[in-house]
Every structure is written in structure tokens, then in C-alpha cells.
Structure 1
């Protein structure tokens, strides 16, 4: 009887809005959107096109990560989960950029990140928030501070992303990132 109640509770949790179809690993959504077959030139063009097509007040969340990295997959999982859709829908465009393995000198798209002031990337993921003028909204340090994304809570990640939704980026989320 106790097992049946536990099973019923688990099914109920899985059917909650925002969790119904998310693939999870240890309770964290998991996604693998980083396409290493896209050339660096094509990736740069896609990011530039996305920035050029932003509506007033929108920003790009450029997620530099890799499918081999559990933190990159976790961050991508949250950003593509139904729970984040209301926040992202009108305020952000999300672009996933494969970064290879920068810690083994086999990085990709590092020059693209450097165009926005984020250089010396040693790990993944990196989250660059870029406004419609092509300027980095967050700091390079906060952009590189996502190497623990898989251990952050949904609420913490949501709060950091939400802090960038305002017209001027609301606040630099360095303090919020550190709390994540």
C-alpha cells in the first residue's frame, strides 16, 4: 500500500504543468541542443541575424555549451522547459552555440564569445545576455559563472534570467549568479 501511494505521488508530480514532458536526469531537465556540425561562420551569422531581428526590449540568451557537458545540458533543459516559456516568450531569444572542449584546447566559437567581451573561456556552459544593439548586458564573469548549472535550482536559474528581462537588464546578475 505504501508503494502504491508513493507511485501515485510520483505520477502526480510528473504530471504537474512544466514537468509533464521534460526528460530529466536526477530531477533536472536535460537537453542536447548544441550542434557541432554547424560551422563557426554559420553560428556567427545565426547569432547576428537573431540579434538584428530582436523586438524592442528583447535580448538574446546566447548559451555557449556542449552536449558532452552535464551542466550545459541542464541549463539547456531548463531553458527549453515549459516552466521557462512564459519568461522567455516575449523577452528573449535563445541561441545554443557549441563550444567544443575549451579546457583541452579544442574549443569552438571562442572568437564569437570574445566579440561580446567574453574571453579566456575554460569551461562550459557560458551564458551571454546580448541586447538589440549587440552589447553584452551581463558581465564576462557572470557569463562564465555557469559551470555549476546542474546543481542550481530551477528557481535560482529563473530568477537570474528574469533579472535580465528589464529594459536595461534590470541588474547585473553577478550577485544572483554567486548565490546560485
Structure 2
């Protein structure tokens, strides 16, 4: 998981990083495409492990919940961050960001989340019992259109209210 906001290009071009990695006995590809392939291969490997673990948990009668949050990057690209929570191990799995292309209605959002959950070996309608989303109006509508129990996270609203108070918009 990327935590330092270092781009693949920076890793590829930074001599110190390359030297440190090779000193530790690892061999990094020399180009960005090769590094991206390493990252995608690692993700695919971890995804298969998650799918296997989900199947084992389903055999034990596990149910899952999701937390979904919309994220807009500094390049103005929109994503859904979808986390999976199980009731047996009480683990949270970050299943990745799903890119939102163009306009996204509540029905598009439902379809995106259903497909993403399906990619991890779960049925949205049968295995997901709860959802946590922020208080945006599209999320309220989302909760009304699905079978799962929905919970709105009010921290987002408190944060936005505080920002509106501290940083009033110029008119």
C-alpha cells in the first residue's frame, strides 16, 4: 500500500532509492512499466488471498460490512475507497480505489460497489449486511436503495461545518 505519496516516476529516477533497494538484495526494474507490473502482480496475489480467506469465512457463516468514501485526487480524478470488514476476525481490508468516470448517479454507485464486492468473491445482496458512508445526499439515497443496513458517518458533516465556520466563502 502506498503511504508516502511517492510516484513511480520518482522511485524510478531517484538514485538513492534504487541504490538502497539493490543494497538490500532486491532487483527493481529500470522503467516505470516494469515497476507498475510488480505492483499489479503483488495486488493480484493479495487479492487472490483475500478471495480465499473470504470463502473460508463464508463457510463459517461470516457476514461482512463495507465502508465507502468518495475521494478526489489532486489531479481532480474521483474514486471510491471501499473497505471490507468481517464479523469473525474483525479485520478491515482495504480493497482499493475504484475510479469514477464522469457523472455517477446513485444507481451507478450501487453497480460500482456491487461489482467491486463481487471481484472479492462476495455477493452484495447476500454477504454484505451493513454499510457506512458519509452524509452526502447521494449516499442517503444509496442506503434507501439497498437491502443492507446503512449508517451515515457524521464526522464528515462536523468537519465540513467547522470548515464553513472557520473559512467562510467569499461573496
Using the size of structure 2 for normalisation, the TM-score is: 0.30
Bigger RCO of structures 1 and 2 (CA < 8 A, at least 6 apart): 1
Q: Which has the higher strand share?
A: 2
Q: Which has the higher helix share?
A: 2
- Structure of larger gyration radius: 2
Using the size of structure 1 for normalisation, the TM-score is: 0.29
